[in-house]
Structure 1
Amino acid sequence: MPDAARRQHGLRVVLRHLYEAGTPRAKRFRYALLVLDILSIGWIVLASFLPLSLLVLTVDVLLGLLLLAEFGFRVAASGVPLRTFLNPLNLADLVAIGSLLLAPLLHGALGFLRVLRTLRLLHSVRLIASLRSDLPFFRRNEEAALAAAQLAVFIFVMTGLVFETQHRTNPGIRNYADALYFTVTSLTTTGYGDVTLPGTTGRLLSVIIMLAGVTLFLRLAQALFRPVRVRFPCPACGLERHEPDAVHCKACGQLLNIPNEGTD
């Protein structure tokens, strides 16, 4: 094998280990990616309060380069790079990264594309789920935690859409705080009426927020008030959800050995 091919193969092996393995080093790496995701979204929110300046544009480009490098590592680590690249969530992430890198040329004209970065949190939710062995609280409340995370992602996405489509023309939407206020009052159907989205596009966006928000709230309520279940695949029939103190599978009667905090 040529040296270049050997080095490329070695890099892919290292990256796949970091993205997929269960070693402490790999888990620390993935937690660092989760922090990067949260910080990048935090910057997108913070930048909405700041005037367009050289400092803001510089941070945009540097953040875009960092996220682009992580995107490249993510694709390289995959056993099917083309499929990974064409994944809708990854394509949305790439568009958001492009809007950061091109910020000096666009002068914020396509800033609304940055909201797509929040979709990356959907991947982060799955990352946390894969690391449930490190988080006893998450393991005990996984369904509710995932439902709450999905609701938070929806609020982030809708807030970003409201802000980016309204802040230039709507005096009631001046920053992310105003957009968040409208989003929350709409999805809770409180609707104070002091902030509205005019036009057909605004009304349709309001309808989406209300309908999808109510659905996600109901899902969160069901997860919170449903009897607690633990995830443990039955070795006989494959049923995954059982009562924490279950001794036998309720579907097939197979003897279970569910780990708990006292036997981990």
Structure 2
Amino acid sequence: MKELHRAIRLLYTGHSQRARRFRYGLILFDALTIIYFIATAALPTTPTMFAINTALGVLILLDLAARSWISQNLRRELMRIYTLADLVVVASLLFAPLLTGNFAFLRVLRGLRLIHAYHLLRDLRRESLFFRRHEDAILAAVNLFVFIFVTTSLVFVLAFDEKAGLTGYIDALYFTVATLTTTGFGDITMTTPSGKLLSVFIMVVGVALFVQLARAIFQPSKIKYKCPQCGLNRHEPDAIHCKHCGESVKIETEGEVGA
């Protein structure tokens, strides 16, 4: 059992090429499940889809169990936002027949794992100069993507009939984006108090995420590297000294050497 525990821990947290490939494989699995959840959000559940959902629920649960098993701090692991999202997704997949409402929109929360998991940030920072230069913009884009599609699915469930199908889902996406950008064309509106409160929520949170993305794109590019002396973790791409304390920093580059 100890050997199995060690093998799983090395796959999830190790530095070997095998471990990195494993983690990138998990990210590919996450991306494919997100595409599937978005594509099927407006479709009625068929026996085939039910079987696929159950299989995905079991796989996600096994992944969650493995990560919890190897965690050095189980409580902290269970309180992470993406772990809570996984628990919600698993519940919506495995207990769907017992639920009276349509909770398919919750499955898009799986998108939170696209970046915030499997030590992916560490791998990308080490292996990709592009990611190091644009990390904030990439993370902001992922957060905005997840918010848009979770909210779209929620709007579809609350404001459209299940029989509306793909056309209704596109209308829900259109309403979400129009509300988020405060365009307000007015051709699709929420008339109930709960619908109006949802619109306010979309505007407030969505605009904040959109502004965060715009700021990350247009602000001067900086690289995350923690200064060993003072702890400052944002530096210019070509910095050789920490601008706060003067300590030498050794930022990894492609083809360039930092002192």
Aligned length in residues: 254
**Equivalence for 1:240:** 233
Structure 1 position 117, deviation (Å): 3.2
Would the aligned equivalents of 2:89 and 2:110 in 1 still touch at CA under 8 Å?
no
User: Are residues 109 and 43 of structure 1, via their aligned partners in 2, closer, same or farther at CA, if it must alter by over 3 Å?
Assistant: farther
Residue 122 of structure 2 corresponds to which residue in structure 1? 130
TM, length-normalised to structure 2: 0.87
Deviations 1:187-242 (A, max 9, x none): 01111112122311111111011111111111111111111112222232222212
Per-residue CA deviation, residues 152-179 of structure 1 (Å, 9 max, x unaligned), is 1211221121122222389799543222
What RMSD in Å do the two structures reach over aligned CA positions? 2.4
Deviation at 1:119, TM superposition (A): 2.9
CA distance in 2, matches of 1:228, 1:78: 34
Structure 2: how far apart are the matches of 1:256 and 1:64?
45
- If the length of structure 1 is used for normalisation, what is the TM-score? 0.86
Contact 1:233 1:240 (8 Å CA) reproduced? yes
Residues 1:161 and 2:151 are matched in the alignment: no
Q: Which residue does 2:213 correspond to in 1?
A: 220
**More deviation, 58-67/41-50:** 41-50
2:224 equivalent to 1:231: yes
Distance 1:28 1:175, change over 3 A: farther
Structure 1's 145 and 91: CA in aligned 2 closer, same or farther, altered over 3 A?
A: closer
Instruction: For 1:23, give the aligned amino acid.
Output: S
Task: Give, as a single letter, the amino acid of the residue that structure 2 aligns with 1:260.
Answer: T
In structure 2, C-alpha distance between the alignment counterparts of 1:121 and 1:75, rounded to whole Å: 19
Secondary structure in 1 matching 2:157:
helix
Cα distance 1:241–1:85, how it changes in 2: closer, same or farther (>3 A)?
closer
Unaligned ranges ≥5, structure 1? 1-6
Look up the match of 1:118.
108
Kept after mapping to 2: 8 A contact 1:173/1:179: no
Change beyond 3 A, Cα 1:169–1:68: closer
What is the correspondence of 1:71-110 to structure 2 with a 5 Å cutoff? 71-103=64-96, 105-106=97-98, 109-110=100-101
Pair 1:182-2:175 in alignment: yes
Residue type of the alignment partner of 1:124: L
**Judging changes above 3 Å, is the alpha-carbon distance between structure 1 residues 78 and 212 closer, same or farther for their aligned structure 2 residues?**
same
Give 5+ residue unaligned stretches, structure 2.
Answer: none
CA distance in 1 between partners of 2:80 and 2:233 (Å): 28
- Are residues 46 and 258 of structure 1, via their aligned partners in 2, closer, same or farther at CA, if it must alter by over 3 Å? closer
Instruction: Assess, with a 3 A threshold, how the Cα gap between structure 1 residues 88 and 220 changes in structure 2: closer, same or farther.
Output: closer
Code of the residue aligned with 2:9 in structure 1: it is R
CA contact (8 A) 1:61 1:101 kept: yes
Work out whether 1:38 is the aligned partner of 2:31: yes
Identity of aligned residues (%): 43
**Greater RCO structure (CA 8 Å; 6+ sep):** 2
Instruction: Give, in whole Å, the separation in 1 of the partners of 2:163 and 2:34.
Output: 23
